[in-house]
Structures are given as structure tokens and as C-alpha cells.
Structure 1
Amino acid sequence: MKSKLKLHGFNNLTKTLSFNIYDICYAESPQDLQAYVEYINQEYDAERLTQILTDVVDIIGANILNIARQDYEPQGASVTILISEQPVTPTDSQIEESPGPLPDTILAHLDKSHITVHTYPEIHPVDGIATFRVDIDVSTCGVISPLKALNYLIHQFDSDIVTVDYRVRGFTRDIEGKKHFIDHEINSIQNYLSEDTKSAYQLTDVNVYQENLFHTKMLLKDFELDNYLFGDATNNLSAEQRAQVTERVKHEMLEIFYARNMPA
């Protein structure tokens, strides 16, 4: 492993992790679709999201300065946490390209950051498809990459599709005055995912190394229709209907994964 970079003053690099998590379901009636949205609003309300982000703060060893949270009508929630600056000396495990810890193995630290989460339940007007999207942004300034929070966050949501973006901006100087536009090695966001996650998803990378831009898309491999049914649909579908719903749900997932409308 390369020796640690010796800096002149504070590390001024800004590292931002943004990712979107999608959960898909099918409900047979408008009433069940609405019940799904209400279930999501209760399961991932502002209080629950605050706890998840607070766990992230614990993982990265920061201090909370302020929490702003809001549940919305008729649906959705948002939480923003401002975290204090806290100079640290990083360990090798905190800066190497590897999965971050889960809550029972808190190792990482952070200089300063903000963390935000927003939820977006959505219902298809015709096809009985409901989609729950979670947008999470973790932005840090200092030695620790927010990618260390990725492993934990993915394990907190039932994710059918995940899109992850990571970028590094600004520059910092070493003790000889030379600019450094990134201070850690990274080949792929995938290297920050645990083995069980990588084996469960189809993974695709689009990276622009010279611009310090990294993008990974994830699509759940195993498809079991019963995991996507909500309400009366769990019991009332015939074999023919199950086949139709399977095709419909898979089509929805592929459109989200490839970010384009596809022919039916």
C-alpha cells in the first residue's frame, strides 16, 4: 500500500456519494396501491430515516450539529444532518478501497459532512405498479471517503435497483505545495460493496477516471414474484395473471435500471 499523503494544512477535497434506491411492488386495486404508499410512509418516516442517518454518523465517527426532518403530505419524508468538523488521523482501513463497516464494527471517521435523505413513493396510474425511491447524499470534506457508508446503507433498504455516483472535487496540497485532486486509490465503487451484495446484484460500471467520476448500477438478480406482491394480489392471481404481472414488474425494473423507456 502507498504511504499516506503528507498535507500542507487542511484536506480541502470534497467527496460526494449520491445514490438512489428503488423498491418495486404490484398491487391489484387502487386501494391496495394506496395502502402500499401508506405502509412505506410509516416504515420509512422521518423518524426512521433519522435513525438510519444517525447510525451512519456513528459509523464515520462524526458529531451531529443539527438535524432537520420533515414528513410530507400526502407522502414522502426528508432528513438533513449537519455534522461537525473533527480532525482525525486516518487508519489504513479508513482510506483503503474496501467495503465499509456495518453498525457492529464502527471503525471510520470523518472531518465534516452533511447527509441528506429524501423518499419518493410513486404509483403507476394504470398498471398497478408502485415504486418507492430513496435518494441519499453523503458529502465529506477531509480524509475519509463517504463510500465507507455505502455498505451499511444498502443493507438498510430492500433494494431492487440501486444507482451510485461518487465524485471528488477541489484539490489539496502536499507539504511541497503540489496539488492533489484525489487522495485515495479507487478503481470501482464495487470494491466498497460486501461480497454478499455483489453476488446478489448484476453490476455495471461507467467510470470517467480522469475526471474522478465513478458510477455503478445494480439490479437484483433473483426474481421471486411473491416478493413483489402487495395486498389482495398475494392470493388472488391466477397462473396467467402471475405471468403477466411478472413481465410487467420486470419491465418496470429494466426501465429504471437502464434509465429509459423500453418497448413493452
Structure 2
Amino acid sequence: MPHTLATVLEAVEKLWPLSGAESWDAPGLVSGDPAETIETVLLAVDAVGDTVDEAIEANADLLLVHHPLLLRAVTSVAEDRYKGALLARLIRANCALLAAHTNADVVSDGVSAVIADRLGLTDLAPIVPGPDGVSGIGRVGTLAEPVSLGHLARELAELLPPTAGGVRVSGDYNQPVQRVALCGGAGDSLLATDAVTGSDVYITADLRHHPASEAREQALIGGGPALIDVSHWASEWLWLETAARQLAEALPGLDVSVSETRTDPWDFVVVQ
């Protein structure tokens, strides 16, 4: 029996319930007719020109992304604005657009949990637990044995897809770390949480100057984690493979693939 967009939405709701999304978030169906047949799905972190091109060229019926295209207020989808242009291209190509964002972050096998699993962390718990105590934002766990901060940073650099910004580290290269807190995507809002301040290192993306500086200065006085800053896109791209597998298992016969197009916005870096 062929799958419709409605049956895909039902499967997505079971995997990443909308009830788990943050109040400011806007996941869910952006465009598409629930009655349309869905045979091919492409997963990407971002709906941008390159991934929309990729979906259309692949004759995909659905582009499932992590970041909602219409997250912030939009008053026009005119085609002289990029969001309107992208939506128009997808609609004309009969390719639906769906987003699973913070609702895919908080589940037990969500974005941060995938990174934690790839790093071999055990005794995992959310940094900010949800009502059930199992789901929630971020993850904190323990490495099987201590490693140097530099070793962990190099392991991350090998694990994540390459980007111009690479992996930035604040801390002594040789200091031992074992308790690891992490949050895929932007996570400096969690710097002051007990789970993060009680860890040896905090891995996240988009660390801004002042929050990072203040966290490191506080660590010199009262203890606190070293910091590892990675690409926002790269930290979330790892989840796509898990999401694709889960969706394919939930809907047998559906052709699900992952885009390898780099949508990190930075193209090169000049080292001084």
C-alpha cells in the first residue's frame, strides 16, 4: 500500500512528537497536501537553495529538514524573497516540506543522544530533563576512561563532517576529561546548568564571546568545564542517518536518503 503524506506525518509524530517542541519553535508541515502519495524522502539539516535543488533533482516527494524554514515571523512569501522562492519551487515540483526541530532534539535517540552514542558515553541523562526524566535537551554522560581534552577534540573532528570553522577548544590540551556534557546545535544557554558546570568539558555549537568568556573565567575561580565549539550544522547532521533509518523502518517501502550537501554557512577561514 503506498504511503501518503498523512501517513508520513503520523509516523513522524510517533518518532518526534510535536508536544516535545519548545514553545518558541515551529516544527511540523510547512507545505504539501496530506493526501499526496509519498515515495521518496530526502533528509537535510536546512532548507536552502542547494538542498531544495537536490530534492527536486532527485524527484523527492518530501524534503524533511531539521531547521524550520518559517521559524521567525514571515509576512510574505513573495518570490523576490528567498523563503518565498524556495517554497514556490518546492510547491511547483510537488515536493512537500516538513521540519522536525526541538521535538527531534529531546527524544531519547535525538540529536544530542546520537553524538553521545558516537562518542561512547555511558550513564546518559538530559542536561535539562523533560517531564518523564528521560527525554530532554542535551545529554551528559561519562567516557569509559579519561582522555586528554585535545584527544577528545581530535576525535570530534574525525567524527563530524568537515567545515571551515573546524573544532575550537577552550582549555588545556592535556587536561584529562571524562564527564562530558553536550548539546547539538546552539547551546550556550545551558552553560550555567548544574549538569554542564559539573562536567569536565562541554561540547556545543555557536558559543558566543561573552557567555564563553564568562564561563571560562568562572571556571578559574570555582571550577567548570573546558569548552569545545563545533559547527552547528555538523553537530546536527549526524542525526539525519538515525532519523532516516527510523523513518524507513516505520514506513516499509519508503525510499529515504540523507543529503550530504554542506549547509554550514561558512566557506573558508583565514588563519592569522
Query: What TM-score do you get using the length of structure 1 for normalisation?
Result: 0.30
When Rg is computed on C-alpha atoms for both structures, the one with the higher figure is 1
- Higher RCO (CA-CA < 8 Å; seq separation 6+): 1
Query: What TM-score do you get using the length of structure 2 for normalisation?
Result: 0.29
Q: More helix per residue: 1 or 2?
A: 2
